[in-house]
Amino acid sequence: MQSEIRHVPSGIILDLSQPDLGHPDGQAIIAAHYHDCHRDTPAFECVKHLGGTNPGMYLKKIQDAWWAVHFQAGRCQNRRIPAPMSDEHKRQTEYWVRAAEDAGYRAETESPLPTGTRPDVLIHGPVVTGVEVQRSGLTRVSAVQRTRKAALAGVLDVWFTDKGAYPRWAFRVPTLGQQPQSWQYLPPRRAVLANGLRAFSAVKCMPGNLPACPNGGNWCGQYHLKVEPRVLVLDEVASRVPAGDIVALRIGAMSGGKAGVYLFPTKSVSLYKELTGKSPQLAFDPRAEDRSRQEPHGRVECRNPQSTASSAFGCSCAACGRQFTSERAFTNHQIPGWDGRLVCPESKARYPLPPRRSVSR
């Protein structure tokens, strides 16, 4: 009932937890009311609050997705409306489901998570994996937020794109592309190759292996990490990620790769620990990603910290004893001495000074 809304003109109940909204005309009903926002005659009502004081709802687009929103804000949360799937989207989703089931895992589509997100495919394995088949435009912020919500629900989100060029959100979240493949039909098993994965390799620090030593200076002859791209059959990814054999890591820029979030085999994690002595950073670990909201602290007195900052010279002149608050003030206090170096005008050590002449104009 929490995911159900009622279409007022027809009395049809739509279930927003189902891809087809639980009715053959569900998507058509939603599309007919994209721009209706009349509080007095709402097009939809929340089934949970029928007969209450806040049943009316309208449709609102929030970050590339449509939501059913209450006219009057309350404890009842907004509800995301599943977007209609294209035929290509359906085939890609079906391919992931088939690959996961072939590996022995249970897979379901459009399963809502308690944190408010709904992956296209949810694979139940030792590592619960969500697959986001993304064919439409999406902002980087939206992709990161949805992946973080999935992580808070204990789900590792993997984003799949069939575009020739990586979209803007690529590698801000765990990303998989594909080798050229038509989705005009459902490809046979093990026919799709996935790219975007990475692996660490140990290479000797010498010319030809690395452009420069990661530690700076000349080549040191030691072994360093290098990031290399990997291509796998998509069916293997669907079986190895839920098994925990492929993990999502956040890495900085290093030889062979840019900074970002990538999928690595667990062997690369062991190699990273061996060469660096520490564990790599997991991507979207809720303990690391969750940030407490900053609350306003009210009005405070504005203070300039530079007024009390100490200068590199101890804030005093050794000749005259004057105190200065900055290096610039100390420099402006000085004048050129007989040898061209700056000296305090009160200093007796470098007098007589050359006469200062006015500049003629």
Higher pLDDT, 130 or 325: 130
Q: Which of 43, 64, 80 is the last residue of a domain?
A: 80
Q: How far apart are CA 325 and CA 317, in angstroms?
A: 11
**Domain-located, residue 351:** no
The boundaries of the domain holding residue 64 are: 4-80
**Domain-located, residue 45:** yes
Six-digit token string for 347: 């200093």
CA atoms within 13 A on the CB side of 204: 4
Burial level of 43, CB count in 10 A (0-12/13-18/19+)? buried
Is residue 162 domain-shared with residue 283, that is, in the same domain? yes
pLDDT tens for each residue of 213-248: 877 778 888 888 889 999 999 999 999 999 999 999
pLDDT tens for each residue of 172-199: 999 999 877 788 899 999 999 999 999 9
Is residue 76 domain-shared with residue 108, that is, in the same domain? no
Q: How far apart are CA 18 and CA 109, in angstroms?
A: 9
Is residue 161 domain-shared with residue 218, that is, in the same domain? yes
Q: How far apart are CA 323 and CA 334, in angstroms?
A: 13
pLDDT at 349 over 90: no
Neighbour count for residue 245 (Cβ, 10 Å): 15
Is residue 330 domain-shared with residue 191, that is, in the same domain? no
Burial 99-108, CB ≥16 within 10 A → b, else e: bbeebebebe
In degrees and rounded to multiples of 5, residue 92 shows phi and psi of -65, -40
Instruction: Give alpha helix (H) positions in 112-253.
Output: 140-152, 234-240
**Domain-located, residue 96:** yes
Mean of pLDDT values over 313-340: 66
pLDDT at 288 over 70: no
Is residue 74 domain-shared with residue 106, that is, in the same domain? no
Is residue 257 domain-shared with residue 168, that is, in the same domain? yes
Task: Report the first-to-last Cα separation within the chain, whole angstroms.
Answer: 88
Is residue 65 domain-shared with residue 122, that is, in the same domain? no
pLDDT at 200 over 70: yes
pLDDT tens for each residue of 122-160: 999 999 999 999 876 678 888 888 899 899 999 999 999
Neighbour count for residue 275 (Cβ, 10 Å): 14
Is residue 313 domain-shared with residue 213, that is, in the same domain? no
Q: Are 231 and 197 in contact (CB under 8 A)?
A: yes
Q: How far apart are CA 43 and CA 45, in angstroms?
A: 7
Q: Which of 47, 80, 113 is the last residue of a domain?
A: 80
DSSP 38-57: -SSS-SEEEGGGTTSS--EE
| pLDDT in the model for residue 199 | 93
| pLDDT in the model for residue 312 | 43
**Domain-located, residue 94:** yes
**Domain-located, residue 354:** no
Is residue 47 domain-shared with residue 120, that is, in the same domain? no
With tokens 């900053």, the residue in question is: 294
| pLDDT in the model for residue 104 | 95
In degrees and rounded to multiples of 5, residue 240 shows phi and psi of -85, -30
Is residue 208 domain-shared with residue 71, that is, in the same domain? no
Residue 222 DSSP code = S
Lowest mean pLDDT among 210-224, 236-250, 269-283, 329-343: 329-343
**Domain-located, residue 361:** no
Instruction: Assess whether the previous peptide bond of 354 is cis (omega < 30° from 0).
Output: no
309 — pLDDT class (breaks 50, 70, 90) = very low
Is residue 157 domain-shared with residue 273, that is, in the same domain? yes
| pLDDT in the model for residue 338 | 60
Q: Which of 244, 264, 289 is the last residue of a domain?
A: 289
**Domain-located, residue 267:** yes
| pLDDT in the model for residue 306 | 45
Q: Which pairing describes strands 4-7 and 335-336: parallel, antiparallel, or unpaired?
A: unpaired
Domain count, the chain: 3
Is residue 317 domain-shared with residue 208, that is, in the same domain? no
With tokens 């989207």, the residue in question is: 89
**Domain-located, residue 281:** yes
